[in-house]
A and B are shown apart, each in its own frame.
Chain A
Amino acid sequence: NAGVTQTPKFQVLKTGQSMTLQCAQDMNHEYMSWYRQDPGMGLRLIHYSVGAGITDQGEVPNGYNVSRSTTEDFPLRLLSAAPSQTSVYFCASSYKAGSSYNSPLHFGNGTRLTVT
């Protein structure tokens, strides 16, 4: 089992460029989410999905889009990159939505994004 796989590991963008961060899980997890980690701010929820075809906004959704066409994949799209989106991005999944009680999040190893 690969678990949660994120690509790329590193990315440099210029302001205004768009890109997609990929996330795939092979554990048949229903719930998937995206977090960003910034110094002194912990991890903040961007978007999440409780199942294929269903997505919702988290704490800091502006400037990001998501879709969930399959159970396995949950890509995060930056529409027009800004320096404020420089961060480390983590994708996470768990067996069932709302199951933090018995099914903690499994995280990928992150994508380090720099926007110049």
Chain B
Amino acid sequence: DQQVKQNSPSLSVQEGRISILNCDYTNSMFDYFLWYKKYPAEGPTFLISISSIKDKNEDGRFTVFLNKSAKHLSLHIVPSQPGDSAVYFCAASSAETSGSRLTFGEGTQLTVNP
């Protein structure tokens, strides 16, 4: 039972355009969401997060939107750069487990073409 789903295995965009990565979840107890970025042969690195009390969080070129009623979040990258090419993982946790258990989605491979 995949509680966090990223339905697009891959996404390709042109440099300078917007990249939108999507994530859906089924567990209504999730109250904190994170995005991680992963380059080949490296571990994931934290990118941006959002609490369920907010619907938007912005950090430079990266913005995460949360739609609680739809159980959907998205990561917007604008403008996209070739160095953004990586696998992006969405993750969620709940206060029920004191945030000690992160549930990850399958990942989306983003390719930004020069």
A: residues with CB less than 8 A from B are: 4, 31, 35, 40-45, 48, 50, 56, 58-59, 90, 92, 97-101, 104-110
Contacts and interface: CB of A to CB of B under 8 A. Distances in A.
B104 A58 contact: no
13 contacts: A40-B106, A42-B4, A42-B106, A45-B101, A50-B100, A92-B43, A98-B98, A98-B99, A100-B34, A104-B36, A107-B44, A110-B41, A110-B43
A23 B72 CA distance: 34
B100 A4 contact: no
Contacts of B107: 42
Contacts of A45: 101-103
Given A104-B34, A107-B44, A110-B43, A97 B98 contact: yes
Residue of B45, B102, B103 ringed by the most chain A CB atoms within 10 A? B102
Q: Assign chain B's interface to a size class.
A: 20 to 34
Interface of B: 4, 6, 9, 32, 34, 36, 41-46, 49, 51, 89, 91, 93, 97-107
A31 B99 CA distance: 11
Nearest to B6: A42
A42 B90 CA distance: 9
Contacts of A90: 43-44
A104 B49 contact: yes
Contacts of A98: 97-100
Contacts of B100: 31, 48, 50, 56, 97-98, 100
Contacts of A107: 36, 43-45
Contact of A101 (B45, B51, B89): B51
A21 B6 CA distance: 29
**7 A-B pairs with least C-beta separation:** A107-B43, A98-B98, A104-B46, A100-B99, A42-B104, A43-B104, A98-B99
A12 B61 CA distance: 41
A105 B91 CA distance: 11
B46 A101 contact: no
